[in-house]
Chains A and B, each alone.
Chain A
Amino acid sequence: MGDVNVVIDGEKVSGPEGNTILEAANEAGINIPTLCHRPDLTPDGNCRVCVVEVEGAPRLVASCHTPISEGMVIQTRSPKVLAARRTVVELLLAGHTGPCVTDECAKDCELHYLAAELEVGPPRFQVKKRRSYPVETLSPYVQRDMGRCILCRRCVRACAEIAKKNVFSMAYRGFRSKVVVDCDVPLDKEACRDCGICIDYCPTSALTKPKAN
């Protein structure tokens, strides 16, 4: 009991109160692409890849952190949703660099995988000044290349919630936003050991295992 009834893509779906649209859709076998969200992390809603249309809502909502409510009518693949989702991925791609930009490594980059899946065409958005940072190689456990980072904050949450180490924080603002360690120093912290959780959660190649030398 206490189930909430909604309609997703014309299909009647019910789920417990407090479940998100994403969870309800997944239960019903309806796939909504995600990027910054992982089922075992607190939803953040920052990437907007999982947007859906809710009838009567003034704008698209992020399904990963919007709870279902009785009678909701949700579209996960309407033209409006697909257009927005595509634009979101294009904007993320515009600020993204890495070996995946040339084809060979594309399978390792979730952003490029999404771009392929959503049939994003040639780049429309030009970034005047690319974010570029020196690669951080001090730590024997994690190598950070923040020029490749798309600011999904999965490493921040994974380190805080799963590893319980709180090594990463968000700093600065707008185009200068960056995942930092302490007062923006290269990663080389006592608290950071070889758990490698952040590497597993990074959707791009911004965080990697250092090559043995």
Chain B
Amino acid sequence: MERNELLNMIKEEQAKNGSVSEGAMADMAQILQLPIGDVYGVTTFYSFLSTKPMGRHVIRICKSVPCFLQDGAMVAAAIEKELGISPGETTSGGRFSFELTNCIGACDQAPAMLVDDEVYGDLTPEKIGEILNSFD
């Protein structure tokens, strides 16, 4: 297998286990004959890949300009209030992880957020509460 298989392998691992552990990175390095550091480098380059365990659902808030102008800070504050965690943290029961990310391509619906693969737009604090309650 070639080095250009690496990103696909990492994505598969992330999809299967929710994150990419050091053990998984070591296995991939072994298979592709790469230094572990190179696998770690690719994994940490992408904000949708994670080296630490994540909650069952990952909330990603856009921190780019269009959402900022549409009061994106309100969205982050509402989530922090609702879940009691700051960006980069996971709720104690492992239900949600909360991350800030760059543009998610939903500027027409700003402020927007992603929960797992689903986009939620035109957010208000009330809407956020409802959306979060719909997840187990």
Contacts and interface: CB of A to CB of B under 8 A. Distances in A.
A153 B17 CA distance: 32
A47 B38 CA distance: 20
Interface residues of B, number: 12
Nearest to A171: B41
The DSSP consensus for interface residues of chain B is helix
Given A183-B22, A183-B25, A183-B51, A169 B35 contact: yes
Contacts, number: 39
Contacts of B35: 166-167, 169, 182
A180 B37 contact: yes
Nearest to B41: A171
B36 interface: yes
B44 A173 contact: yes
Looking at chain A, what size class is its interface with the partner chain? 10 to 19
Contacts of A182: 35-37, 40
A183 B36 contact: yes
Interface in A118-144: none
Contacts of A172: 41, 44-45
Contacts of B40: 169, 171, 180, 182-184
Interface in B1-38: 22, 25, 35-38
B45 A181 contact: no
Contacts of A166: 35, 37
B45 A173 contact: yes
15 contacts: A168-B37, A169-B40, A171-B41, A171-B44, A171-B45, A172-B41, A172-B44, A172-B45, A173-B45, A181-B37, A182-B35, A182-B37, A182-B40, A184-B40, A184-B44
Instruction: List the 5 shortest-distance A-B pairs measured between CB atoms, nearest first.
Output: A169-B37, A171-B41, A166-B35, A183-B40, A169-B41
